[in-house]
Every structure is written in structure tokens, then in C-alpha cells.
Amino acid sequence: MILTTRRQFNQCIKYDHCGEYVAHYKELTLRSVFQPIFSKSQRVIGAEALVRIYTNGQRQIRPDKFFHSKNYNFVDQLNVELLSRAIHIRNFSISPYRRYHLFLNLLPEAGQFFIESESLSQRLSERLKQLNLQNPQIVMEVVEQETHNELSLKNTTNQLSNIGFHIAVDDYGSQASTSERVTLLSPDIIKFDRSLMCQYMTGDTEPLLNAIQVARATNAKTVVEGIETKQQFEAMKRLNLDMYQGYYLGTPESLIPKVDIAYG
């Protein structure tokens, strides 16, 4: 059964002793962590919400493994995504950076169901308003997974844009996050996969430079992910990208750390 009503969501979501919203679904526990995203001027402009999935035995399951696992059917994967989004928004609303942008991952296959279910999209907008958040604060990151119907994905992102959300293509340069998907979706933001930066740092500059050209041709803002060293950060700044993300700048935390610049 796919979760669709407020009552069903509220039965799964609790405010725990740590001061965070947590979701329980079957034998799984879902928690939010947030990784800050920085501008050229090294100011926080938003954060990406990431889910941490635990079994009742407290074994952690990597999200990418969970959403590709044959041990969980599509309904379970969809419900976990929906619940993750719900706790991410609630936790973001009580974080120090609630006035900035919240980046939320969107599975291509789940996105179609989400927008086709009027109650879900309407409830999300209503919930944001209740939490004193605005639709334009939300960036929906279409992850790199394949979808059976790219045109349906385009329709989904168009409808999300029409109600005020921003659209990003996540992990560009990996799997289905290609120039073809960018052309189809016309995203507001392109997030470059870390592999492009790593190639660039070893002297293979063409993949990242080509990705930057794709972004500029579509007037999309750019984010480079996975920055782990000062050397990488300095090299990426020289490319004059719009936004920067990675462990060197800020690690994923349960509540976003209150920092204004990348480093002192």
C-alpha cells in the first residue's frame, strides 16, 4: 500500500528525544542529514537532504543500495522516498538554514507517481506553507537512475516547475544524467558528478569542461559535488562555477552546522 493520507504519514513519523523528526517504516528507521552547499563567495546558500536508513538491528543500508535492491519492491522504495522527503522538510524547517534552499532527491520513477497523485503534491505545498517555507526554496534533484519513460519525467518536472519548485539534474556525467536528459528537462541547476572533478584533477579536463558548456548552453546554474581537499576546491573555483559541495566544505550532519563560510 502506497502512503497517501496525512494520517498514514503521521503514524510513521515521530519527533524523537534528539529533537529531530524520524520515520519508521516496517523494519526500517529513516533519519535526515544535511550537507551545506556554498556559493562562489563561500556563503551557505542551501543544503542537500540525505536519508540515513537503518534496520531494527541498527544496520545501516546505503540509500543507493536500497533503491537498487531487489529485496525491496517498488512500493517500499516509493514509501521510503516519500517519508524521507517528509522528515527532511520538517527537520529543515527547524534548522538554522531554513531561509535558504533545500535540495531534495527525486527518483525518476517515483516522481511520476508523486505528481500524478494530486493529494501528494497539494499536501506538500500546504505543508511547506504551514512550516513557513516557500515552494521556490525547494530544489528537486532528479537522480541519475534510468526511467522507462523520459517524456513522462519531463511532464513531471514541468508540473513541479509550474507550482514553483526548482529542478536540478543530479550527478551529471553518471548513468542517465546525460546531456540528452538535460536537453529534455531544461533544469535550473546541473550538479556535476564527483567523477568529473576527479578526472579533471588528473589532467583529463575535457569531461568536466564539456559539462560546463552543456550547463551554460541551457542557462543552468552549476554545482560541483564531492570536494574533499583544498586543492580540489581551489581548482574548481578557478572554473567560476556557481556552487560547491563536499566534505572539505561541510559534512552531512543531522542538523546543519551553523557556518557562514567554507573555511576560516
Q: How far apart are CA 122 and CA 110, in angstroms?
A: 16
Q: Render pLDDT for 158-190 as a digit per residue (tens, 0 to 9).
A: 988 988 999 999 999 999 899 999 999 999 999
User: Does residue 116 surpass a pLDDT of 70?
Assistant: no
Do strands 60-61 and 44-55 pair parallel, antiparallel, or not at all (unpaired)?
antiparallel
User: Does residue 261 surpass a pLDDT of 60?
Assistant: no
Q: CATH homologous superfamily of domain 6-244?
A: EAL domain (3.20.20.450)
Q: What's the CA dihedral at 243, 260, 89, 127 to 10 degrees?
A: -100
Q: How far apart are CA 82 and CA 111, in angstroms?
A: 10
Q: Chain-wide mean pLDDT for the chain?
A: 90
* pLDDT value at residue 110: 73
Q: Render pLDDT for 219-260 as a digit per residue (tens, 0 to 9).
A: 999 999 999 999 999 999 999 999 999 999 999 998 765 555
For the full predicted model, state whether its pTM sits above 0.95: no
Q: Which of 53, 50, 3, 49 shows the shortest CA–CA distance to 28?
A: 53
Domain spans of the chain, in order of start: 6-244
* pLDDT value at residue 35: 95
* pLDDT value at residue 26: 94
Quick one: cell of 73? 519492491
* Span 94-118, average pLDDT: 81
Amino acid type, 76: D
Of the two residues 43 and 96, the one the predictor is more confident about is 43
Question: By the 8 A CB rule, do 245 and 224 touch?
Answer: yes
